[in-house]
Amino acid sequence: MSTAIEAEPRHDRRGGVWDYISPSRLALFLKCPLAWKLRYIDGVRSPTSPALFVGKVVHAGLESWYRHRMLGLELGAGTLRAWIADFWGQSAADENMTFESVAQETALQAQAIELVGTYLAQVPADEPRPLAVEATLEAPLIDPNSGENLGIPLLGVADLILGPATSARICDFKTSSKAAPPHEITHELQLTSYAWLFRQTTGQSESGLEIRSLIKTRSPKVEAHAYPARTGRHFARLFSVIREYLDALDSGRHNFRPGGGCAMCDFRESHCRDWTGSGR
């Protein structure tokens, strides 16, 4: 039997990090609360790395292709290549990107074009038309078990939702330098967040979820891993993490969490090394 939803939310919205929770905020918080605080409370920005920039351009190329497909239009390979090259130049200027050399930038742009081309060559001919592309979804967080309104919405941007709505597949694109084992738990919070948002905004349940990885090997590869529709267990686990996140916001305790992720952390030398604790 379902419980009644509390009329009053748990927290007042106070702007900033209280505006919404997102899968990426949760992911960084779980990786390291200090890194999360530096980025989302202190506003420390990190420069976009060339590898991250390639990922952004690949996402934009796929978005453009799928937006045309949504309208029943096929964007030809040559047109898409030209579109990506234009987008690259404009975005690199907007983000003040710096590359080691012109040769490096040229090679990375070619890599982005080749990755998108490899992906499109493998799209099944009978793939359903998209229901939504780069869809920003937002929904209140009302605990499905207790009915408590957590007073803060969940917000996420789904790369691709394939139709129809009654049996939608929610897909997320990744670019990476090497193939990774298809462990569901690696992507669990992100996929469960998207499923929650889809269900809350459409009233339908997804039929499944997918991670589509574009891998930057010498000869690019695409791997798609499918995962089943979410269950009550997934949502209970998501809400458990969200409650821990909200408790940390309330307490202001954002400790560092040294580990394997430190090797790739932009804050390691600039902010973390001299950090002296949360002082509580």
Q: Binding residue for ligand SF4 (CB under 6 A) from 145, 201, 261, 270?
A: 261
Q: Which of residues 23-82 bind ligand SF4 (CB under 6 A)?
A: 32, 34-35
CB neighbourhood size of 229 (10 A): 17
Q: Cβ 264 to ligand SF4, closest distance in Å?
A: 8
What is the rounded distance in angstroms from the CA atom of residue 26 to the CA atom of residue 129? 31
The answer to the question of residue 267 lying near ligand SF4 (CB under 6 A) is: yes
The answer to the question of residue 10 lying near ligand SF4 (CB under 6 A) is: no
The answer to the question of residue 262 lying near ligand SF4 (CB under 6 A) is: yes
The answer to the question of residue 272 lying near ligand SF4 (CB under 6 A) is: yes
Give strand pairing partners of 224.
212
Closer residue to ligand SF4 (CB): 83 or 267: 267
Choose one: 57-65, 187-195, 210-218, 263-271; the region binding ligand SF4 (CB under 6 A). 263-271
Give strand pairing partners of 160.
133, 171
Closer residue to ligand SF4 (CB): 42 or 86: 42
Burial class (CB in 10 A: 0-12, 13-18, 19+), 108: buried
Closer residue to ligand SF4 (CB): 52 or 229: 52
The answer to the question of residue 256 lying near ligand SF4 (CB under 6 A) is: yes
- The residues that touch ligand SF4, with contacts defined as CB under 6 A, are 32, 34-35, 256-258, 261-262, 265, 267-268, 272
